[in-house]
A and B are shown apart, each in its own frame.
Chain A
Amino acid sequence: MNAIVSTVLKRLGLGVITLFVVSLIISLAIELLPGDFCKTQLGQAATPETVAACQRDIGLDRGPVERYVEWLGGIVQGDFGYSLAGAGSLGGSRRSVAELIGPRLLNTLFLAAVAACVAVPLALVLGLLAALYRNSLFDRIVNLVTLTSISAPEFFVAYILMLFLAVKFKVFYALANVSDDTPFLESLARIALPTLTLVLVIVAHMMRMTRAAIINLLSSPYIEMARLKGIAPRRIIVHHALPNAWAPIANVIALNLAYLVVGVVVVEVVFTYPGIGKLMVDAVAFRNMPVVNGCALIFAGTYILMNLIADIVAIVTNPRLLHPR
């Protein structure tokens, strides 16, 4: 137990430092980009006076260091600050970063959860079966299909699915624009195509790692012993090999789950799904610093959390690590 607690604490401590470094790098990167929020928002209608007035209004006329320190001060107190759009003296529509990101993050988590619920069991089962019937026709076909789907770019997969399942044969919705008042079942129906796309994209990685981890263990002495004892192959794999294979499998699953939260901008754009990826891309295009930093912190936090869980699983399933001498 001590091993777990000490790992968690160490990781959380390092995690905080990582988040700080991430926010520093992102803020620096945004500063280096040409233009700023005011110029981008006013677009072609920007004149030196209106840009200056806008900058004075939302505090962009102060130096980058001062702004970063102020933002950091807010963060350590749990205040994510306000979006630059609508900030300022005419604050009739000040929107806090939290209320901007909140609903989008929930949408993303919803899609990620549904995709994960489908993809992870599917990948595990396919991986186990492929290990069981390794080198057979089934194994080869499963590998072929999954490798093909992961090799094709996501937008390609997305458009193909949309073409066949929403336009030519109207099985699913083409637009996944869920909102707060969409009933739950309709939300599920609307995200069917994005879910399918994401599942196709992430199953290959998890499935192949499962298969590889198990096959790797099949050459161990205790497996040979089990085989000599006459235990059925299915039981050997599920009861004897799989428990020892969890560490690498958990790592891969964690990586893919983090990707589901962080990396699905393309799917969001294609299906017009109001998730956090598109929000961040828009915020970067507009140099909306507080929103970008907020999103970056959430993304970095997701990775840190997922890696932490994967490591805990690795420790828990390995008695040698769980009870070190």
Chain B
Amino acid sequence: MREIDFWKDQLVRGRIGRREFFGRAAALGVSTALATTMLAQVGIGAEPKPGGRFRVGSGHGSTTDLLDPGTWENEYTADIGRGLIGDALVIIDQKNSVVPNLAESLEPSDDAKSWVYKLRKGVTFHNGKTLTADDVVATYNYHRGENSKSAAKSALSTITDIKADGPETVVFTLSGGSADFPYITSDYHLPIFPSQDGAINWADGIGTGPFILESFEPGVRGKFKRNPNYHGTAYFDEVELLVIGDVSARTNAFIAGDIDYMDRCDLKTIALLQRNPDVEVTNVTGFGHYVAPMNVTIPPFDNVDVRKAIKYSFDREEIVKKVLFGYGTAGNDNPIAPSIKFATQPEPVYKYDPDKVKFHLGKAGLSSLKVDFSAADAAFAGAVDAAILMQSHAAKVGIDINVIREPNDGYWDNVWMKKPWTMSYWGGRPTVDWMMSTAYAAEAAWNDTFWKHPRFNELLVAARAETDEGKRAAMYAEMQQILHDDGGIIVLMFNNFVSAHSKKVAHGELNSNYDHDGGHMYKRWWFV
């Protein structure tokens, strides 16, 4: 790209400040007036203004989608609940901190075992009903209930009691102290719905969110218009959320101008897309990562030296280059993304090292190794290619990997957590505690390496309730080191969210926890 575009890009990503941008622009002969216009084009210093119909082409969404919040498991429905019709108690901002949303303030007790949320006053649902604490209690109980089939049930298992303390206060009581509890209340399953006698009504799509549902055809499109009584700000007049599953169709619709935003760009052709002067590609590093879990209860993976030998036997940077086309960062077998609080980089960093492979194989008493590796693109796009790359690297150091290409259909039933070494992915979680509890705690339902380490689990529980930041940091650092050294998980790489939007749309700094600006692009972005 041209040099001025490169500096604009750096500015948008926050890598340089405005002064530096102006300086560079002047050096390139761009006048200040023009440079200011350029800033406005990328939404910096420009005043957001209302208006316009924002058409989004989403690669997610299916005909079985429902307005029932317990069933939401793709980004389409997550957007509806979190970004359009609904509001959760808190939201996660660009720095991955919790900020108040429907809750005005949140206070923990001294042992972090109970949390008091005070609700914002004067918030109304789209049908005019005022938000009260009873609505919050009813919403959470819907997901926690005995017979609940909600996807959020396990995340809420730490709550032992919820009650309303007056119309504007909700008290959560937890089974154990948790300093990170507020992050859970930002989950996309948990927008608050209007209730009556303890039961919530979600079927009409009525929430407190910035947009009102006009029509919804699952798997096809949703139409929304701005809520004039929203407690915050939103700029678009209307939003149309289309499902375009096929990436070529989505790209074509975007280039032809039928949609203003597309997600999940095709990485193989992204360079061509970027050449278009009306297109802005956003490349955000989130918490999502691709993994290859080894079942540590099945030989040969039960031997830590075998695991280490495998970890040193392939080149992670090359996988990022070939599979993600550079749109990602190589992993170091630590599932905590660098932007998460308390993230560390355990040493030594795993890279392709034939000497270490030989050393660890020797310690395990083996001169060579033969293992099966199950992969399918259902795990992540390019999983099979990545497996084959690993096979070719490992072959040079005496490890014979037999890549088994599994069918996509039924992958999560028959392959993940069933075969000894598979591919998988994680959307990532915003806190160390949540990520570790979901996948690495001894009894976690999704502990796909079946790894149980006593010291790790001891630290996990202790750190959850620890309110001293320094002590917590040390505990989490130790946990990440243990997982890195002893665990069965290979974190191949952190994948970026690569999406594109027309230059007619502008935005500020982007969230990194989910795509679509954390799901909040509908209320944060505007037409230039």
Residues in A lying within 8 Å of B, measured CB to CB: 33-35, 38-39, 41-51, 53-54, 56-57, 83-86, 90, 92-93, 100, 159, 162-163, 166-167, 170, 173-175, 177, 179, 269-272, 274, 278-279, 282-283, 285-286, 288
Cα A46 to Cα B409 in complex, Å, equals: 16
Contact B201 A53 (CB under 8 A): no
7 A-B pairs with C-beta separation under 8 A: A46-B412, A48-B445, A53-B148, A85-B66, A174-B252, A174-B256, A175-B259
Are A43 and B73 also in contact (CB < 8 A) when A174-B258, A274-B220 are? yes
Which residues of chain A are within 8 angstroms of B149 by Cβ–Cβ distance?
Answer: 38, 42, 50-51, 53-54, 57
- Interface hits, B33-79 → A, CB 8 Å: 62-68, 70-71, 73-74
Nearest chain B CB to A193's CB is how many angstroms away? Answer: 10
Binds A, one of B91-99, B109-117, B240-248, B472-480: B240-248
Interface centre among B65, B147, B219, B243, by most A CB within 10 Å?
A: B147
List the A side residues contacting B259 at CB < 8 Å.
175
Q: Would you list the 9 A-B pairs with minimal beta carbon distance, nearest first?
A: A92-B203, A34-B410, A45-B151, A85-B64, A54-B149, A174-B256, A53-B149, A35-B413, A282-B63
Pair A92/B446 contact, Cβ less than 8 Å: no
Q: Is B172 an interface residue (CB 8 A)?
A: no
Q: With contacts A42-B73, A43-B412, A173-B258 known, is A166 near B66, CB below 8 A?
A: no
Q: Does B524 contact A (CB under 8 A)?
A: no
Q: A92-B203, A173-B258, A286-B62 are in contact. Are A49 and B153 (CB under 8 A)?
A: yes
In angstroms, how far is the closest chain A Cβ from the Cβ of B75?
12
List, in ascending order, chain A residues with CB within 8 A of B219's CB: 274, 278-279, 282
Docked-complex contact A50 and B151, CB < 8 angstroms: yes
- List residues of chain A with CB within 8 A of the CB of B68: 86, 90, 92-93
**Contact A270–B409 (Cβ < 8 Å):** no
Q: Does B221 contact A (CB under 8 A)?
A: yes
Q: Are B248 and A159 in contact (CB under 8 A)?
A: yes
Which one, A34, A90, A93, A271, contacts B413 given CB within 8 A? A34
Is B246 a contact of A269 with CB atoms below 8 Å?
A: yes
State the B residues within 8 Å of A (CB). Answer: 62-68, 70-71, 73-74, 147-154, 201-203, 217-221, 242-246, 248-249, 252-253, 255-256, 258-259, 409-410, 412-414, 445-446
Query: A141 CA to B443 CA in the complex, in Å?
Result: 70
- Write out the residue numbers on chain A whose beta carbons fall within 8 Å of the beta carbon of B221: 177, 179
Chain A residues near B73 (CB-CB < 8 A) = 41-45
> Are the C-beta atoms of A166 and B64 separated by less than 8 Å?
no
Chain A residues near B203 (CB, 8 Å)? 92-93
Best-surrounded residue of A35, A44, A274 (most CB of chain B within 10 A): A44
B244 to chain A: closest residue by CB: A272
Closest B residue to A283 using CB positions? B63
Residue of B at shortest CB range from A269?
A: B246
Asked if A167 and B255 make an inter-chain contact with CB atoms under 8 angstroms apart, the answer reads yes
Expressed in whole angstroms, the Cα–Cα distance for A38 and B150 within the complex equals: 11
Are B153's CB and A47's CB within 8 A?
yes
In contact, B249 and A269 (Cβ under 8 angstroms): yes
Chain B residues whose CB sits within 8 angstroms of the CB of A269 once the complex forms: 245-246, 249
Given A33-B410, A34-B413, A93-B68; A272-B242 close (CB under 8 Å): yes
A162 to B201, CA, bound (A): 43
Given contacts A53-B149, A272-B242, A274-B220, contact A33 B64 (CB under 8 A): no
Please indicate the chain A residues that have their CB under 8 angstroms from the CB of B253 in the complex.
174-175, 272
- Give chain A's interface secondary structure class: helix
For B62, what are the chain A residues with a Cβ–Cβ distance below 8 Å?
282, 285-286
Q: Is the beta-carbon distance between B414 and A34 smaller than 8 angstroms?
A: yes
A34–B248 Cα distance when bound, in Å, is 29
* Cβ contact within 8 Å between B64 and A41: yes
Q: Which of the listed residues B152, B203, B253 has the most CB atoms from chain A within 10 Å of its own CB? A: B253
What residues of chain B lie closer than 8 Å to A85, measured between beta carbons?
63-66, 71, 218
Query: Which residues of A have CB within 8 Å of B245?
Result: 269
Residues of A contacting B256 in the complex (Cβ-Cβ under 8 angstroms): 166-167, 170, 173-175
Which residues does chain A contribute within 8 Å of B74, judged by CB atoms? 43
Which chain B residue lies CB-closest to A37?
Answer: B64
A35 to B219, CA, bound (A): 21
- Alpha-carbon distance between A86 and B64 when the two chains are bound, in angstroms: 8
In the assembled complex, how far is the CB of residue A183 from the closest CB belonging to chain B, in whole angstroms? 16
Distance (Å) between the CB of A104 and the closest chain B CB?
Answer: 9
Task: Decide: B409 and A34 in contact? CB cutoff 8 A.
Answer: yes
B407 to chain A, nearest CB (A): 9
Chain B residue at smallest Cβ distance from A279: B63
> How far is the CB of A18 from the nearest CB of chain B, in Å?
27
- In the bound complex, how far is the Cα of B245 from the Cα of A272, in angstroms? 8
| B70, B71, B410 pick with most chain A CB within 10 angstroms | B71
Assembled-state Cα–Cα distance A272/B242 (Å) = 9
A180 to B523, CA, bound (A): 28
Residue from B152, B201, B252, B412 in contact with A44 in the complex, judged by beta carbons closer than 8 Å: B412
> Which listed residue (A57, A177, A288) contacts B242, Cβ 8 A?
A177
Q: Within the complex, which residue of B66, B147, B151, B409 is in contact with A33, where a contact is CB–CB below 8 Å?
A: B409
Q: Looking across the interface, which residue of chain A has its beta carbon closest to that of B424?
A: A44
Report how far A100 CA is from B221 CA in the complex, Å. Answer: 14
Scoring A42, A170, A272, A286 by chain B CB atoms within 10 A of each residue's CB, the highest score goes to: A272
**Cβ–Cβ contact B445 & A47, under 8 A:** yes
Asked whether A92 and B201 contact (CB < 8 A) given A38-B149, A175-B253, the answer is yes
Q: Evaluate contact between B71 and A41: CB separation under 8 angstroms.
A: yes
**Extra A-B contacts (13), CB below 8 Å, given A57-B149, A283-B63:** A33-B410, A41-B73, A42-B71, A42-B149, A44-B73, A45-B151, A48-B445, A50-B148, A50-B150, A50-B153, A162-B252, A163-B252, A270-B249
Residue from A83, A93, A274 in contact with B217 in the complex, judged by beta carbons closer than 8 Å? A274
Chain B residues positioned under 8 Å from A35 (CB to CB): 409-410, 412-414
Query: Which residues from chain A contact B63 at a C-beta distance below 8 Å?
Result: 85, 100, 278-279, 282-283
**A155 CB to nearest B CB, Å:** 9
**B residues within 8 A CB of A47?**
153-154, 445
CB proximity of A21 to chain B, nearest CB, Å = 25
Tell me the smallest distance from the CB of B462 to a CB of chain A, in Å: 25
Chain B residue with the shortest CB-CB distance to A36: B413
- Measured between beta carbons, the chain A residues less than 8 angstroms from B412 are 35, 39, 43-44, 46
Contacts of A49 in B (CB 8 A): 153
- A39 / chain B contacts, CB cutoff of 8 Å: 412-413
Residues in A with CB closer than 8 Å to B201 are 92
Closest to B408 in A: A285
What is the minimal beta-carbon distance from B212 to any residue of chain A, in angstroms? Answer: 18
> Given the complex, which residues of B lie within 8 Å of A57, measured CB to CB?
147, 149
Q: Tell me the complex Cα distance, A274–B244, Å.
A: 11
A41 CA to B245 CA, complexed, in Å: 17
Measured between beta carbons, the chain B residues less than 8 angstroms from A179 are: 217, 220-221
User: B446 touching A282 by the CB < 8 A rule?
Assistant: no
Bound state CA distance, A269 and B249, in angstroms? 8
Query: How distant is the Cα of A264 from the Cα of B214 in the complex, in angstroms?
Result: 30
Q: B413: nearest residue on chain A (CB-CB)?
A: A35
Q: CA–CA, A54 to B152, complex, Å?
A: 13
Query: Which chain A residues lie closer than 8 Å to B147 at the CB level?
Result: 53, 56-57
CB contact under 8 A between A42 and B151, given known A174-B252, A272-B249, A282-B62: yes
Measured in the bound complex, the distance between the Cα atoms of B253 and A162 in whole Å is 10
Give the CA-CA distance A30 to B258 in the complex, in Å: 37
Contact partner, A175, options B70, B242, B445, B446, Cβ 8 Å:
B242
Determine the distance from Cα of A47 to Cα of B73 in the docked complex, in whole angstroms. 13
Question: B220 to A270, Cβ gap below 8 A?
Answer: no
**For B446, what are the chain A residues with a Cβ–Cβ distance below 8 Å?**
44
Chain B nearest Cβ from A46, distance in angstroms:
8
| Chain A residue with Cβ nearest B248 | A159
Query: How far apart sit A181 and B330, CA to CA, in the bound complex (Å)?
Result: 49
Complex CA gap A286/B414 in Å reads: 15
